Chains A and B, each alone.
Chain A
Amino acid sequence: MIPAYYEFYNPVKINAGDGALETIPYELGQMNAAKPLIITDKGVVKNGLLEIVLNAFRDSEIVIGAVYDDTPPDSSLVVVNEITALYHKSGCDSIIALGGGSSIDTAKGVNIAVSEKTNDIATFMGADRLKSTPRPFVVIPTTAGTGSEVTLVAVINDTENHVKLPFTSYRLLPNLAVLDPRMTMTLPPKITAMTGMDALTHAVEAFTCMQKNPISDAYATVAISLISKNIMSATKPNAKKETRFAMANAATMAGVAFSNSMVGAVHAIGHACGAIARVPHGMAMSILLPHVMEFNMDKLEDLYAKLLLHLTDEETYAKTFQSQRAKKAIQRIVEMRKELYDIAGLPFTLRGAGVTEEQFAKIAELAMNDGAMLPNPKILTTADVIGILKKAY
């Protein structure tokens, strides 16, 4: 069904496949950029990925202005300011993020600081607050999950005041996302499983939440097919390049989908589990997804039924009675989680993730005030959230 009104926007150019990294010098040239700052982390350097990226610039006109390789697992205002100073000191004119969610969000923060000429980006927190043209911005993801390379969101931690600052603006969207199979080859099985389930959650919530539209649906459903066909083989040790690359594509497509139709209650509760009990994001998504789907079932049964086709195959879909399809779709996700536990040790209960029952009240309170509650098509009360947490325990 087409909504009475919707909006969709994705101006990010996507260069994907063999040799994608080598296209970056040309693309920077097209953006009139000659001296990028690379923002990355120690793990990426250790795995030899930075070297591969630097080699892609050989014989080009581009000079790498500086490499910042100390990005912590959680982005912070302090780090953003430190990198911004480095950007100016080295006379850079563009930004390349190389890494997972943290490096990409940090780079978005630096782009705000540089383009808005501020050393306090917190004053630009919220929606649509950025007014200046951002610097040319390239993202090379090294995990297949967050979709940050195509989203308009950044979350930066204010470590002094212990709050997460959300920024959303079309000006945060990168100019170019580079999906190169060499970049996800070294991802360990458990991270592959977690980030893959995060991407699956993005796609499922994008397909069912309130800002969904026919264009985001197209991205979401293809992402779901790719994930369900590839997540198991990509998670196994020595996974083939093709399956990992399929996961990278899926994560980006799911990112486009949810950047336009937003996520829902799985994310709201998952964010709270992360804040209160330090459950890694993808792990929380994997644990909560089927339980929230069950909660939403009475409102979303028809949409979940459609997802069965993308979560399984034509034959299974055709053989399943319409009245059983939604249930079977949820069941399929439950089975995926069991398999991922066997292959990679990814827990599928909150207990297994280290959450205690005493934390439920705090998690529920925080989840209720999370922005992702709003797009969820069904209203959740604090008691509903506690009910979901209990089932997931």
Chain B
Amino acid sequence: MKTYKTNIKPGSATAQKWVVKAGFFALGRTIAHLSATDDEVMREIAAWPEGYSFSMNVLPAGPCLVMEKLNNKMHFIGLDAKPDADMIVEVKNLSIAFKMIMAQLGAHDVYARHGIGVTGNIADSMKLIRIIYKAEAMLFPKILNKNILKESPDETLQLQVKRLKAITLGVILGK
């Protein structure tokens, strides 16, 4: 009798996972930077109480982007799940998170393809989407962000300076 393979465990997408980890690190630090320097982002987080935290989890096994509000600023806490976060946003699989980090899908596209689920307050998740949106506009130049933003901002000198600051001060130095 022919034998068939059973109990197949299809391995791990290690490379994709590392790209998403790096992307979440950059996204987290950009959001942290913007939360102290960008008027719009500062307004979005104003209503959140001190210690407010959110976790964006890639299902089924991470990574997770965890951030917390301390001293009126968002801080990038790390890439491990925080089950007691005030707001948990779940990205349904790694391939969607990968496309998001590679600027192939924007926050709205991910939503449109039913790629995220939210636990917690809807108004808070709307704020987070707007913050991520702002961070995407900041991190990716127009040539990349025009495909993923509903409206791509003009590449002014001012925006480019802000981007340079976000990348050097925010992502690299964590300020």
Contact = CB atoms under 8 A, between A and B. Distances in A.
Partners in one complex: yes
Interface of A: 3-7, 126-129, 166, 210-211, 368-371, 373-375, 377-379
Contacts of A378: 150-151
Given A128-B117, A374-B129, A369 B150 contact: no
A186 B111 CA distance: 40
B126 interface: yes
Q: Is the interface of A mostly helix, strand, loop or mixed?
A: loop
A369 B108 contact: no
24 contacts: A3-B112, A7-B114, A126-B118, A127-B118, A210-B109, A210-B111, A211-B111, A211-B112, A211-B113, A211-B114, A369-B122, A369-B127, A370-B122, A370-B123, A370-B126, A371-B122, A374-B108, A374-B111, A374-B126, A374-B129, A375-B111, A375-B112, A378-B150, A378-B151
B160 interface: no
Contact of B150 (A5, A126, A377): A377
B119 interface: yes
Interface of B: 108-109, 111-114, 117-120, 122-123, 125-127, 129, 150-151
Contacts of B118: 126-127
Contact of B126 (A4, A126, A129, A373): A373
B123 to A, nearest CB: 4
B48 to A, nearest CB: 13
B103 to A, nearest CB: 15
B126 A371 contact: yes
Nearest to B150: A379
Nearest to A374: B111
Contacts of A370: 122-123, 126
Contact of A368 (B109, B112, B126): B126
Of residues B108, B112, B118, B119, which shows the largest number of chain A Cβ atoms within 10 Å of its Cβ? B112
Contacts of A3: 112-113
Of residues A3, A4, A126, A166, which shows the largest number of chain B Cβ atoms within 10 Å of its Cβ? A126
B117 A127 contact: yes
Contacts of B114: 7, 211
Nearest to A260: B114
